Amino acid sequence: MWRCRLVHVVLLLACSGCAHAGLSTSDVESVARGNRVNLLILGTGNKWAPRIEPDLYMLVGARNPTPNEKVQIDLTECQAAARAVWNSNAAERDRAILAAQGPAYNPGAEVSKAAMDLLTKTYQDCLQPKGYTASAPVPR
């Protein structure tokens, strides 16, 4: 009986992060203070996980100090906008490629630059009118 409950708790904790990929409380607080934070907007960030969405990281900051609750709502709304684009006809080809290539440890499991640019632009266009800066992080 306790094993079943333990498995349930572990699954619940694992899935609780799925809805807000990369949006931890500390990240939201940092953005609210006006710091620029590298956020995982889509994907799992886990190279061993099955891929449903590509990993999309964005560098996000608030232009002015903003209440945490507003930041959480705004970031989540714009995350949903990017997810809607990923699930649209515009990304259908890339979704099929990602699904066919399997888990992320397959180095070929990547989507096109055009799809990633579209997702990035969608997130930026959603956040900027709400008072945030958003850009793709510079690769190291």
Strands (E), the chain: 37-42, 56-62, 132-135
Q: Report the percentage of the chain scoring pLDDT > 90.
A: 54
Task: Give the mean model confidence (pLDDT) for residues 89-95.
Answer: 91
CA distance 56 to 40: 6
CA distance 1 to 25: 33
Query: pTM here?
Result: 0.77
- pLDDT tens for each residue of 9-60: 333 333 333 344 568 899 999 999 999 999 999 988 877 777 788 889 999 9
